[in-house]
A = this chain, B = another copy of it.
Amino acid sequence: MMKTLHVALDERSYPIYIGRDLLAQPELLTQHIKGKEVLVVTNETVAPLYLQALLDSLQAYQCESVVLPDGEQFKTLDVLNQVFDQLLSVHFSRQVTLIALGGGVIGDMTGFAAACYQRGVPFIQIPTTLLSQVDSSVGGKTAVNHALGKNMIGAFYQPQCVIADTNTLNTLDDRQLSSGIAEVIKYGLINDLDFFEWLEDNMTALKHREPAALAEAVERSCIDKAKMVAEDELEHGVRALLNLGHTFGHAIETGMGYGNWLHGEAIACGMVMAADLSQRLGWLTTQDVDRIKALLLAADLPVTTPEGMSSEQFMSLMAVDKKVKDGVIRLVLLQGIGQAVMSDNYSRDKLAETLELFQH
């Protein structure tokens, strides 16, 4: 069974297809390919699993592929250039369609490559991890990292469609699955208490990869995200709430070296830090904080920071976050479970207390 959601962005609108065995339905994909040229971008982990089948279904096209190394540490301008090398060496034109086959790193890089190649060509997202199916493949945020900050170089650039085949989640390792669940929990925390409660009831099923539970989690996450993106494509307002846990989390990812902590792991810890600060501000009860921690722990996610990060390092890394305005770090905080707010109106002392508590 397949569900189709729509991201409503005027002439940039596109469908998200969610379901099992979608990769076995090539017409889902090919209806969105305009020209004859296709470049599939994937990585060393995903290629052996799904690349050949995808290429087989694209035999009517002039189809090439490029296999990048796997990991957040390879989401760089240098590795991005390998995609351009391939596109140019086979003389692909402005009519090429890029296909991202992989997780968030592949999706972010392929989308950014599509945004820049010949000043913009179409691309399609085939996310193969839970994290990319529920978050990074939807909404058009594309980017590469810089040594001094995560996702600092990129573009808002929407895909032609997103094909989320939940079968691909069976090949994820447990750590990758948990990392994806972190972003799922985020949607509950932001504005969907009902979904948060559903997750409390169904975490075991998710951890056991029960297909119905996975499909439900992906669909509800995409519905929540698509709504916020449609309302605020360029993140001038409500979309910024999707960054709950990300200002703290990006500091962890950058501070620990890209690839050491998975994105979802860093975001899980970041959400606990945001909850802790919210509680210090009197916005959240201790019971709520404990409930958040319990759900993250049930998903095998970290709720404490990595060793070796001082509060000074946190402050320095958080100062380059994209949410900084006029020198003030704006944070997504919680006024309840399902009630996230963007705020720069918090006590700096309380933030310092949170960072003190979490430093090792």
Question: Taking beta carbons and an 8 Å cutoff, which residues of A are in contact with B?
Answer: 35-36, 77, 80-81, 84-85, 88-89, 91, 93-95, 115-120, 141, 143, 146, 148-149, 152-156, 234, 319-320, 322, 324-327
Q: How far is the CB of A112 from chain B (nearest CB, A)?
A: 8
Q: How far is the CB of A208 from chain B (nearest CB, A)?
A: 37
In angstroms, Cα B77 to Cα A153, docked, is 12
Contact for A154 among B35, B119, B234, B324, CB less than 8 A: B119
Q: Chain B residues with Cβ under 8 A from A120's Cβ?
A: 155-156, 234
Contact for A117 among B91, B152, B326, CB less than 8 A: B152
Q: CB distance B93 to A152 under 8 Å?
A: no
Nearest-neighbor residue (CB-CB) of A76 within chain B:
B81
Q: CB distance B155 to A115 under 8 Å?
A: yes
Q: CB distance B155 to A116 under 8 Å?
A: yes
Q: List 6 A-B contacts (CB under 8 A).
A: A77-B80, A93-B326, A116-B116, A117-B152, A117-B153, A119-B322
Q: Chain B residues with Cβ under 8 A from A88's Cβ?
A: 146, 148-149, 152, 320
Assembly of this chain: how many copies?
2
Contact for A143 among B81, B115, B119, B322, CB less than 8 A: B119
Q: CB distance B94 to A325 under 8 Å?
A: yes
In angstroms, Cα B117 to Cα A234, docked, is 14
Q: CB distance B85 to A148 under 8 Å?
A: yes
Contact for A77 among B77, B143, B319, CB less than 8 A: B77
